[in-house]
Structure 1
Amino acid sequence: MGNDKNFFSVFKNLKEQVDRLPLSGNAKQKMKSRIIELKELTIDAREPRIALVGRRGAGKSSLINALFGERRQATGSVQAGTGRGKWLWYPSDEEKKIRLLDSRGLGESEKPLKADEYSAVAQMKKEVKDDPPDVFLFLIKAKETDARVDEDLRELNDIRAFIRKAHSYDVPVICVVTQVDELDPPYYKQLPLDGHPEKAKNIKAGVHLMEKRFKEHHIPLITTIPVCTYTDFDEDGNIVYDMRWNVDELAAYLVDILPNDAKLKTAKAAKAVPAKKKAAQKIVATMSGMAVIIGIEPIPFADMPLLTALQAIMIMAIAYISGREISRATAGEFIGALGVNFGVAFVVREGVRSAAKMIPAAGNVLSGAVAGGVTYGIGQAGIAYYIEGKDLKKAKQAFEREKKHFRKEQEKE
């Protein structure tokens, strides 16, 4: 996305307009902060760096495929062999979606495969010296949560301390309890897996035990998520048996905690709609906040080009997350198809200002709510259309509904 000249030109135009506007000092500072956030989310967008920690058989390859792949693929970073413990691209060097770092089995007694290789911890430190991970995924099989994991956690803490010292960055950790379908009763294989009282109890016990162990080792956890990633494919790569459970929740958490510049490409690569929506909502919130600031400021006529530019960028970003790259013109056509009448919106906003001359501050707040509401409604319509796959009629309904909802919430504040 950072290489998309069309997108960059729209962003550049938006920034230049913000710089030229006669905004008050506080509003100018808020806008600059939002512009920086927008740049991180879009222009600076990069692939995420995910470090996998867990012993062999914990299901690292299956988890990554469940999160980002449509079919069973060989992932170099999670294969046995000399490549383990190094940053590699998923699914391949030719198709770079995610950067993965496999722990090569922390806490295991296995010696390096070759005499000139580093130990698992030393190898990881070597790899993260220049490129720290955005997040650690600590994987453990559900049936092994009561097994010896203290050494694994000590080594994880060692690596986290190394990164903190080298990069001044405390890498967040998500604990993933895998293969929960194997917990008692083993015959229960229906989704949701926690639909059976006994299995739900055992899943909860495993999660609680891992949280306790992380607390004992003073490792702060973002969350602990139990998952099942089992899928079967036919020769053409089509899913013929799907037992995935809670993978969407994990994907959404990932997008939520990643740095801004890694959110969009993670959401684009993820197969989970909740993850895509999470990133899209972040974009919509940023843009709506900018629109409110623009609407509040008494700058008639000058604000319209700015509002239309940021709304176009918003739709372009949402489409990108869905896997489609569109131009500003296409984004404008979508906004027009929603029935958005910028002239009417402008008149309404100026009417609010004029009617509130006796209490200008209140009038400006209402005008900000109008501008923010229209932008928020357009964003929600974009999510409905591009990410949820709804038709234009449903997108229009989302626009009208969410526009009104935003304005009501703003007027309460």
Structure 2
Amino acid sequence: MRFGERKAWRDQWRQLRTALLKPSVDERDLAASLAAARAKLPIPVLWLIGKTQAGKTSIIRALTGSDRAEIGSGFQPCTRHARLYDFPAEMPVVRFLDTRGLGEITYDPDEDIRFAEAQAHLLLAVMKVADQRQEAVFDVLRAVRRRHPEWPVLIAQTGLHELYAPVSDHPVPYPFASEPWPDRVPADLRRALIAQRRALPALSGSAPVSWVAIDLTQPDDGYEPADYGLEALWQGIEQVSPLGLKTQLLGDDGVRDLYARTAHLQIVGHALAAAGIGAVPIVDLVGVAAVQAKLLHALGALYRQTWDRRTTAQFLGLLGAGVATGLLAHWFGRSAIKLIPVWGQTVGAVVGAGSGGATTYALGKAAVYFLARRQDGLEVDPTRLRQVYAEALARGARVIQDRARANQR
């Protein structure tokens, strides 16, 4: 490599490290870019309909792992009777739409239906099993299916323990996955579940209507497990929806420790934002680079570590020149490294292996491995770090592809 090429490489490496340490981003420009990105790759909306106290908030808590206080303060009104909850708030992976007021005398659902049907990617009706008066919910389901006969419907029957005999617990193992149900299902509960299902009038359209029985309680309620039927709920969601929400919210390995789950949500949210931004014109660091920098700093804060000069240099060095070259291409464009033939030959392969979204996902997963090892006082294995990055690049591409396919439906 000639002197000019070495100098160009050092200059770009220094810019990459500086951008990680002190990202220079105009927040207004970034906000505008994110808004344009979400138009290209909209956030999936899970539309929950049900009467007050049916258990909609408990479902959101169970799916996201957030506590009730956070959910309560996170809802934002969008119509007179509906509200939205973005999760996570800064870089959302999913948006929950909660329609309230069903069953109330003064409630007219038409406005919410018009708003929600333009937003929703998945319709989830929630009915407390002890409440057999669900005509208001049935009316909304009929109205939606008349307009969208292709939409599948998932119905969650909640509050099972209200129909248990005194001093009894959940029937285990979970018995509601297939019929006929075994004798250990309490008789009163069995009758109420069947009656509610039979009461639903026939819905227009050929899309399926699926039912799931769940009981999402608080730990101090005394029922074990507290999230009874949660896995069945996830299975129902995955069967009727192409969104891949479970992987996006929990990761490939399911629920893990709090650090890993929080980090995963940050990674997916930023990766999806970067993928959307990659589809619109971006200038300088406002775009994929800004999102990746924000992600790394968010992960550093989570693991109580700072991306100082030494830490950043170590991380980039352990990732290796091939990965760093791909980052340079994403951050500064192919022209930024065109004077470096040796590295420039690898850019097409590195960039082609994953979009800005997939690269963001991989960078985040590699950073988690790096930060977690440092937090535990353990040596960072460069071979393993690069393996984590490579495996995550493929998984990140699948996450982006799943989201894109869902939005084409």
TM-score of the superposition, structure 1-length normalised? Answer: 0.47
Q: Which has the higher contact order (CA 8 A, sep 6+)?
A: 2
- TM-score by structure 2 length? 0.47
